[in-house]
Structure 1
Amino acid sequence: MQNNLPILFPNFSSSLIQEIEKNAINQEVVSGTTLMRTGEYIKSTVLVTKGKIKVYREGEDGGEFLMYYLQPGQACALSMICATKNEKSQIMAKVVEDSELVMVPLKLMDKWMMEHRSWYEFVIETYRNRFEEILEVVDNIAFRSMDERLEFYLKRHKEACGCKEVNLSHQEIATELNTSREVVSRLLKKMEQRGLVKLNRNQIELLT
């Protein structure tokens, strides 16, 4: 599993790759598995080498607020922050595609920050990228109407999977956008009339 680390994380130094191979734990997880729950302590940082992870916040009513997706070559910035400060998780993380992960023990986080420049730069770059992505999400929620939010949501899915099909039901989309299924269905129908999407059963094909 770790043979592709230099390809997925090309900026890692050879010495850091050796440290990862020596100390990290490989884990294979199937779709639907919950990796992190709100209120739990995080004991390791997750490097994704295969699959896709959804990172989100869960409301008291069970609603979900999508924050970002993790894909091969990426790590969870929020888990890094919680791990280094020994704080409880404020997020949920669920596997949405069968995945392969490299679990970096908490005790190595600070050590590698001091000993490996490439790890330090990777952590900082991960923080920066996720901060910018979360800002974009906040702007989308604060300043856009629901139809614009839906288009933004579908665009993120398209970018995350590199495909034009979104295999989600209208109810699943409504849950993540914190609205009703009826609203999502109505807006998707309008998008179909505008030639932006094609609606199939539990699948939305993006045409633009």
Structure 2
Amino acid sequence: MLQELKEAYGFIFEDELIEEINSVGKLQFKAQGKKIIEIGEYVKMMPLLIEGAIKIMREDKDGDELLLYFLERGDTCAMTLSCCLGQTKSEIRAVAERDTKLILIPIEKMEEWISKYKSWRDFVFASYQARLTEMLDTIDTIAFMNMDQRLMKYLEDKAKINQNEIIAVTHQQIAYDLHTSRVVISRLLKKLELDGKIKLQRNSIEIMAL
């Protein structure tokens, strides 16, 4: 675990902090599609992403999901930080976008390191800023983009996160993530294919110009 920590976070944290994370952190593996954090749970450990990708979602009063943002290697979730430090229930759902390896940090260490290590404090503040920017981007996308533009941005983001122009995803899953109907997504995907931007395959989509 130590070598993986150094590769993912060595350019951010000093050696002493890396050693502490290695000694108190719990290594965990989540297969693609598995939940990492559920809405309504108390979050007692903060995740540091070592490998893979995680998608963060909110849920409305009707139980419909909305994708907020993705996390990649070297990231953590600011909303998880808030829940940990405030000891409140999670308002987000975190799901492994692909096979994911993460290290879980106990709450008490998070608080201790904020005063002990400048690099950790800077990392926490930078994480808040990055996630806030991503959520504002999500709001702008919903408010100002047409659904076909939102769909294309979603596909491009998903391809970049998965590092593959071919995305294994169903029309229904896209509809869930974008908070719309499968019929609308299927129609727009067909239009994007006719425009030469994507190529539809069985349960997958190829992005033609990433």
TM-score by length of 1: 0.95
- Output the amino acid matched with 2:120: W
Note if 1:6 corresponds to 2:20. no
Deviation, structure 1 residue 60: 3.5
Note if 1:42 corresponds to 2:39. no
Counterpart CA distance in 2 for 1:134 and 1:158 is: 19
TM-score by length of 2: 0.95
Counterpart CA distance in 2 for 1:180 and 1:133 is: 24
Counterpart CA distance in 1 for 2:96 and 2:88 is: 22
Quick check: 156-165 or 53-62, which moved more? 53-62
Q: Deviations over 1:108-155 (max 9, x none)?
A: 111100000111111111111111111111000011111111111112
Match of 2:130 in 1: 129
Percent identical among aligned pairs is 38
Counterpart CA distance in 2 for 1:27 and 1:175 is: 27
- Please give the secondary structure, in 2, of the residue aligned with 1:155: helix
Deviation, structure 1 residue 30: 2.1
Q: Kindly report which structure 2 residues correspond to 1:18-97, keeping only aligned pairs within 5 A, or say none.
A: 18-97=19-98
- Output the amino acid matched with 2:143: A
Q: Deviations over 1:155-192 (max 9, x none)?
A: 21122122211111111111111111111111111111
Q: Is the 8 A contact 2:98 2:162 kept in 1?
A: no
- Please give the secondary structure, in 2, of the residue aligned with 1:184: helix
Return 5+ residue gaps in structure 1 as ranges: none
Deviation, structure 1 residue 83: 0.5
- Please give the secondary structure, in 2, of the residue aligned with 1:87: coil
- Please give the secondary structure, in 2, of the residue aligned with 1:182: helix
Counterpart CA distance in 1 for 2:63 and 2:173 is: 12
Counterpart CA distance in 2 for 1:60 and 1:119 is: 36
Counterpart CA distance in 1 for 2:81 and 2:32 is: 23
- Please give the secondary structure, in 1, of the residue aligned with 2:62: coil
Counterpart CA distance in 2 for 1:158 and 1:95 is: 15
- Output the amino acid matched with 2:137: E
Match of 2:116 in 1: 115
- CA 1:2/1:29 → structure 2, altered by over 3 Å: closer, same or farther? farther
Match of 1:102 in 2: 103
- Please give the secondary structure, in 2, of the residue aligned with 1:74: coil
- Please give the secondary structure, in 2, of the residue aligned with 1:204: strand
- Output the amino acid matched with 2:110: M
Q: Is the 8 A contact 2:43 2:84 kept in 1?
A: yes
Note if 1:17 corresponds to 2:21. no
Q: Is the 8 A contact 2:5 2:22 kept in 1?
A: no
Deviation, structure 1 residue 201: 0.7
Match of 1:201 in 2: 202
- Output the amino acid matched with 1:204: I
Counterpart CA distance in 2 for 1:203 and 1:27 is: 28
Match of 2:168 in 1: 167
Quick check: 192-201 or 48-57, which moved more? 48-57
Counterpart CA distance in 2 for 1:54 and 1:132 is: 16
What is the RMSD of the two structures over their aligned residues, measured on CA atoms?
1.2
